[in-house]
Chain A
């Protein structure tokens, strides 16, 4: 049963045709061609598919797309400025070599983005708790936590300036 649906992603409305059993990850990647969001475990275990829905992180691979029609969706494509300048969080990931193979990175960034909005000055322990649903098999997490901590500092410094 095909249906017309509109999704608000990164501030832009997309009209597309979906089927009710499609997940949000399927729609983002296969219909809207926003392939920054990754499908990895596809069962809600690894967090690679994390996107924000009304600012809350969710696993897009175990969320039906129909549930996301009335939400403001944010994906990794929306983090950088329109001109392409990286966000402070993305920049901190680059500077700290927090991405290795990169498959978890989009999910990590979105989870961290949500956390830093909620809690601009997290402790290292709070960062670890926050990314507990995002699995990285390369880095050992230390550089990811370093990057998020540094991004928090830089965002604070920029706002204070």
Chain B
């Protein structure tokens, strides 16, 4: 594998200085995507800045209805957090369904969100929960943060420090995982707070995660699985690959939306 220089940052400020001072540095979170990518020769950072030693970036904080998850919190930690499981079981369950146990014990929410894989689970949750991505420089609403395939609003060297959202009234996530990779073929996160319904879809969009306005309007009027039947799911803008075509994914969006509404 490519020989990078390894740095263990003790604070966010130190990490930022290391990133700014290096030729081509990359942040190391859980490394579950970065390490395979480096092994394939698709990434060759001169320096790796490890954020896992920064205690301030770890852990889930529940304060009333507000939830803050530190960027270096692993999927397993999110899945196992009692307070979160009570307040927003949909997100705890989502984290418990990411990849496999080995991935969940290394992979982090910050790493997932910074990578913005179009088939990752967290982006759907953040968009549907109207979450805020907090960085060392600013706060970015999820709506503006996810900017396309593996693309985010982050500037060079900007560090995701946490994710924050207000717990919804009801929510659920349903995904159809690729049986080999466990990535979402289609995943739908539904969140209802008062009369407001937000529906975010991952795994299906050519530009990554997106909100589905048709489903949102129908579910705001009638929050039931049957309401999904009346919504036309267009294939426009959907991904087609060896795992499934546009029609198949459009169908899966409807089915996953129904399952999510039924579970919420």
Contact = CB atoms under 8 A, between A and B. Distances in A.
B1 interface: yes
Interface stretch (A51-59, A92-100, A142-150): A51-59
A64 interface: yes
Contacts of A156: none
Nearest to B179: A132
Nearest to A110: B102
Given A21-B1, A62-B32, A64-B28, A133 B102 contact: yes
A23 interface: yes
A43 B39 contact: yes
B35 A133 contact: no
A88 interface: no
B2 interface: yes
Nearest to A134: B100
B1 A44 contact: no
A44 B99 CA distance: 11
A130 interface: yes
Contacts of A37: none
How many B residues touch the partner, as a band?
20 to 34
A50 B102 contact: yes
B81 interface: no
Contacts, number: 76
Given A63-B35, A64-B31, A133 B3 contact: no
Given A43-B39, A44-B36, A21 B182 contact: no
A102 interface: no
B231 interface: no
A1 B5 contact: yes
B28 A56 contact: no
B5 A20 contact: yes
Nearest to A42: B39
Contact of B6 (A44, A53, A56, A66): A66
Contact of B36 (A43, A114, A134): A43
B47 to A, nearest CB: 10
Contacts of A47: 100, 102
Interface string B27-43: 01001100110011000
Given A21-B1, A42-B39, A56-B105, A133 B6 contact: no
B65 interface: no
Contacts of A64: 6, 28, 31, 35, 48
A67 interface: yes
A65 B200 CA distance: 37
Interface of B: 1-6, 8, 28, 31-32, 35-36, 39-40, 48, 50, 52, 76, 99-103, 105-106, 180-182
Given A67-B50, A115-B101, 4 more contacts: A20-B3, A20-B48, A53-B105, A64-B48
12 contacts: A21-B2, A43-B36, A57-B101, A62-B31, A62-B32, A62-B39, A64-B28, A64-B48, A66-B50, A67-B50, A67-B52, A133-B182
Interface of A: 1, 19-21, 23, 42-45, 47, 50, 53, 56-59, 62-64, 66-67, 111, 114-115, 130, 132-134
